[in-house]
């Protein structure tokens, strides 16, 4: 239910902001503006916005596919406390995944970012530790790749693109969100590393 609730809230806010410029300006991640005004809440609110319908649908569909796995894991391990940890993973990943972009662009008045991609990446990589053998599809590859293989490929691609691409995609947020998802899960879920190794080998 938490995953669905986050999707609903994000979808509603994003759709409203498509035609509400004031809401968009209030929530968008704008490093230079934030460095002057100290509006640190933007480290979180930008995840409630998306650039267009495709951006929103892709992020929320990906979150739906993997979020339930991670939500259940935390609930199984910690009962009701697990819900809070799952929410903490998602919300904190929004901020952690965007810190590098903040420092890189805090003197760039033209830089703005929106989207929950960093948090979604954190959830996806948390799920990879849980089910490393699950298949993950990458368009247009016509077959699924085991998650434990997809993970390193995704990290390598995101790191490369963060340094070399100029395509208006938050590759840096993808990378740091994914890494944070791994670290958060390793810290909070006892025995997850031996579990992962046993599943892979």
**CATH (domain of 67):** 1.20.1540.10
**Total number of domains constituting the chain:** 1
pLDDT at residue 164, as a whole number: 83
Domain span at residue 178 reads 2-200
Instruction: Write the CA distances from 95 to 22, 34, 47, integer angstroms.
Output: 22, 13, 9
Identify the band that residue 144 occupies on the pLDDT scale cut at 50, 70 and 90.
confident
SS3 state of residue 70:
helix
pLDDT at residue 135, as a whole number: 92
Full-model pTM: 0.94
Q: What are phi and psi of 29, to 5 degrees?
A: -85, 110
Instruction: Write the CA distances from 99 to 108, 118, 127, 141, 154, integer angstroms.
Output: 15, 11, 23, 32, 20
What's the mean pLDDT in 81-103? 97
């Amino acid at each position: 239910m938490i995953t669905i609730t986050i999707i609903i809230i994000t979808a509603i806010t994003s759709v409203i902001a498509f035609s509400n410029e004031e809401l968009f300006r209030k929530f968008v991640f704008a490093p230079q503006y934030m460095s002057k005004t100290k509006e640190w809440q933007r480290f979180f609110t930008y995840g409630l916005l998306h650039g267009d319908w495709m951006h929103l649908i892709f992020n929320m569909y990906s979150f739906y596919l993997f979020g339930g796995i991670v939500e259940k894991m935390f609930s199984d391990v910690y009962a009701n406390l697990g819900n809070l940890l799952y929410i903490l993973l998602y919300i904190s990943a929004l901020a952690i995944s965007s810190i590098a972009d903040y420092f890189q662009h805090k003197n760039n008045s033209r830089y703005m970012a929106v989207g929950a991609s960093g948090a979604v990446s954190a959830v996806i990589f948390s799920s990879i530790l849980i089910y490393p053998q699950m298949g993950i599809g990458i368009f247009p590859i016509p077959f699924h790749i085991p998650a434990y293989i997809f993970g390193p490929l995704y990290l390598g691609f995101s790191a490369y693109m963060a340094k070399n691409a100029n395509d208006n995609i938050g590759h840096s947020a993808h990378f740091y969100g994914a890494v944070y998802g791994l670290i958060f899960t390793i810290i909070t879920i006892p025995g997850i590393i031996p579990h992962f190794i046993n599943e892979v080998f």
